[in-house]
Amino acid sequence: MKKVLVLEDESNIRSFVVINLKRAGYEAIEAETGEEALAQLRRNPDIKVALLDIMLPDMDGFEVCRRIRASDSQIGIIMLTARTQEMDKITGLMTGADDYVTKPFSPAELTARIDALYRRTGGGEKESSAEISQPPFLLNTRNQTLEKNGQRVKLTPVEYSIIKLFMEKPGQALSREEILDTVWGRDYFGELKIVDVNIRRLRIKIEDNPQKPVYITTVWGYGYKWGF
């Protein structure tokens, strides 16, 4: 059974989410507080996707996200944000979330997002070719890992997908739309801005100087290029 953590302190929203997840074939692991969510993740290491509400009684959802990411770069994280919390989306993505869903959301939208993230994190379809080497980077597509100068760079599933796309198309300008379509899927409901936020975070992880990126360069008014 595919497990999804649902962290939401409002019981009516939580039940709504849980019912719809069950209908879509997921097993929902529920938590009402940040501490409870972290405990559930320790108890259920096979949880592949976590839905995190932001306003919680003990700590905010960003803190939960940060703590999860401190030990787990593989799990998919979706923040549940209120419509007015525009900044929250950005903050959430910068703390390591892969996606966000704005309340109120439809069950179809939520499960589409979870399905998409699950496909990326599940690693169900293993590929035969194992490595792409572009010094100083080495991408292992079997383990879904990236090394820079022999040092492992911890990536979220979304960051990994972006790097993989870049390394498969070195020196090619990729439009933000193309990156969004390839990484998030054509049925994605979100905005182009999510591409920029993830690129910003990736630069912090892989560039020697994120202010003056040389690996991921900006193609003004268009998108990005893997600078090889």
Which residues of the shown chain bind Ca ion in the complex (CB under 5 A)? 9, 53, 55
Q: How far apart are CA 135 and CA 78, in angstroms?
A: 32
Shortest Cβ distance from residue 87 to Ca ion (Å)? 17
**Which is closer to Ca ion, CB of 13 or CB of 173?**
13
Cβ atoms 74, 121 nearer than 8 A: yes
Cβ atoms 131, 139 nearer than 8 A: yes
* Nearest residue to Ca ion on Cβ basis: 55
DSSP label at 154? P
Shortest Cβ distance from residue 28 to Ca ion (Å)? 17
**Which is closer to Ca ion, CB of 53 or CB of 98?**
53
**Which is closer to Ca ion, CB of 81 or CB of 121?**
81
Shortest Cβ distance from residue 124 to Ca ion (Å)? 32
Task: Give me the half-sphere count of Cα atoms (radius 13 Å) on the Cβ side of residue 116.
Answer: 25
**Which is closer to Ca ion, CB of 7 or CB of 41?**
7
Question: CA torsion 131→94→178→135, rounded to 10°?
Answer: -30
Neighbours of 79 (CB within 10 A): 27
Q: How far apart are CA 134 and CA 216, in angstroms?
A: 13
- Reduced to 3 states (helix: H, G, I; strand: E, B; else coil), residue 190 is coil
Shortest Cβ distance from residue 101 to Ca ion (Å)? 14
Shortest Cβ distance from residue 189 to Ca ion (Å)? 22
**Which is closer to Ca ion, CB of 53 or CB of 88?**
53
